[in-house]
Amino acid sequence: MADKFDVIVIGAGPGGYVAAIRAAQLGLKTACVEKWVGKDGTVVNGGTCLNVGCIPSKALLEASHKFVEAKHDFADLGIEAGDVTMDVKKMMARKDRIVKNLTGGIAGLFKANGVTSIAGTGKVIASKQVEVTDKDGKATTYDADNIVIAAGSVPVEIPPAPLTEDIIVDSTGALKFQEAPKRLGVIGAGVIGLELGSVWSRLGSDVTVLEAMDSFLPIVDSAIAKETQKLLKKQGLDIKLGARVTGSEVKGKEVVVKYTDSDGDQEMTFDKLIVCVGRRPYTQGVVADGVGVGLDERGFIHVDDQCRTSVPGIYAIGDCVRGQMLAHKASEEGIMVADIIAGHKAEMNYDAIPCVIYTFPEVAWVGMTEQDAKAKGIEVKTGSFPFAASGRAMANNATEGQAKIIADAETDRILGVHIVGQHAGEMIAQGVIALEFGSSAEDLALTCYAHPTMSEAVHEAALAVEGHAIHMANRKKRK
């Protein structure tokens, strides 16, 4: 029998490693189990987010956006850059360096906080026992008073487009291209599909996005979604809605994709095809039969609002439980669970979790959309402000998009904040804080914002809720 711990965390992704660090900070003897190992046999922390998700994709998005700016926008600023080219292999090498630095940094944080890192595949075999199987097949059992399952998720695969080694790939494969494919197909117009499609479109690929749903970004406020679709189309992404993929066939170094839309059966040929139709929880085999942890029909672990499973002392967080699959949601759940285990009061406001799509311009939102409010029978009032009227946006050469605030018509309490524009992912924090503290639109309207900033658009949107915007003509004059 190996050492006994106060807490064992299964998974070192953004939920797991944060939970482990927090638990150790609170004086709990903590271990974190991770099955991902590098070529040298050492544990690779960070999960999907740091290794093949959030971080590497943002490195490619930033590099490709700077390339587009240098190629097409610098001249307007008075900068003559000449013949600008992109070395994709160097871009990929930089992405890999960033990933290595961050994943290595987690190992340093574990050491600094006293977290024991265990390499291997973790499995809950009893209410207070975790079995860890290393890469050589050796199994070791550890006792723990508390277990946190943070196993994450994996990309969904679909029968009409089975993955191949290099032609039909998932999001992980799309981060490894060594050159921009001439014709790129993307199945799915969600966050991942739009981000990866944007990267390769900027680098010269003819990108077609096939989306089975008839509406674009239905989880986003309809006005923001409509503007986003228009902007992405302007950038060259051909987004086909209501296009359901029915089959694919690899022929040599290209793939023929068959789909149906309102006009009937169609087909297109691509050099590469990225399948981005969502992710599913990675829970199969993580908990032994008979332990008593409940799962739903999709594989999500049943938990309450504080991430407790049906078995006392066993918690589950992140992508393997209900809610949006977001790294920051997983991290906050990890902190909450560690605090609860340590005997502190802790809770999460699931109504104030921000979402961001890192296209350019970025799309960010928190709280309700207008359609959400309507479905709940809530009467709302809204205020919007275009970045075209922002002095800082003009100076930044980033006048596309808008900020929008949705407030309760009776109480003025802010229900949702939605932004499409440069740095929207940074600005949305204002909306998160507003929702967290139950702010009214008037609260933001009475707040002093620095000038000139992109954030002033949020201020003006708050003013516009009551028809008091200063730097644009108000749709409706109010007292």
Instruction: State residue 476's pLDDT score.
Output: 66
Distance CA 155, CA 161 (A): 13
Count the Cβ atoms, other than its own, within 10 Å of residue 408.
Answer: 17
Is the distance from CB of 229 to CB of 251 less than 8 angstroms? no
Question: Annotated active-site positions, please?
Answer: 451
Residue 473's pLDDT band, with cuts at 50, 70 and 90, is very high
Distance CA 201, CA 71 (A): 14
pLDDT at 215 over 70: yes
- Which class in CATH covers the domain with range 352-464? alpha beta
> Average pLDDT for residues 319-323, to the nearest whole number?
97
Instruction: State residue 292's pLDDT score.
Output: 97
The string of pLDDT tens digits covering residues 53-82 is 999 999 999 999 999 999 999 999 999 998
Q: Is 456 annotated as a binding residue?
A: no
3-state secondary structure of 6: strand
Q: Is 193 annotated as a binding residue?
A: yes
- When the pLDDT of each residue in the chain is averaged and rounded to a whole number, the result is 96
Q: Is 28 annotated as a binding residue?
A: no
- Phi and psi torsions of 32, nearest 5°: -130, 125
Q: Is 195 annotated as a binding residue?
A: yes
Strand partners, 241: 211
Start-to-end Cα distance in the chain? 74
Residue 1's pLDDT band, with cuts at 50, 70 and 90, is low
Residue 393's pLDDT band, with cuts at 50, 70 and 90, is very high
Residues 6+ apart with CB under 8 A from 230: none
The string of pLDDT tens digits covering residues 435-457 is 999 999 999 999 999 999 999 99
Please choose, from the candidates 368, 396, 411, 373, the residue with its C-alpha nearest in 3D space to the C-alpha of residue 457.
Answer: 396
Residue 479 exposure: Cα atoms within 13 Å on the Cβ side:
0
Q: Do domains 4-155+280-348 and 352-464 have the same CATH topology?
A: no
Q: Is 190 annotated as a binding residue?
A: yes
**Burial class of residue 106 (count of CB atoms within 10 Å of its CB; 0-12, 13-18, 19+):** buried
Q: Is 423 annotated as a binding residue?
A: no
Instruction: State residue 478's pLDDT score.
Output: 57
Residue 126's pLDDT band, with cuts at 50, 70 and 90, is very high
Q: Is 75 annotated as a binding residue?
A: no
Is the distance from CB of 393 to CB of 421 less than 8 angstroms? yes
DSSP track, 317-340: -GGGSSS---HHHHHHHHHHHHHH
Residue 318 exposure: Cα atoms within 13 Å on the Cβ side:
32
Instruction: State residue 30's pLDDT score.
Output: 98
4-155+280-348 CATH pick, 3.10.20.30, 3.50.50.60, 3.40.1180.10, 3.30.390.10: 3.50.50.60
Instruction: Give the domain ranges of the chain.
Output: 4-155+280-348, 168-276, 352-464
Type of residue found at 353 = I
Distance CA 477, CA 479 (A): 7
Is the distance from CB of 442 to CB of 448 less than 8 angstroms? no
Distance CA 153, CA 160 (A): 21
3-state secondary structure of 459: helix
Is the distance from CB of 301 to CB of 280 less than 8 angstroms? no
- Based on its alpha-carbon atoms, the radius of gyration of the chain, rounded to whole angstroms, reads 24
Distance CA 419, CA 362 (A): 8
- Which class in CATH covers the domain with range 168-276? alpha beta
Q: Is 303 annotated as a binding residue?
A: no
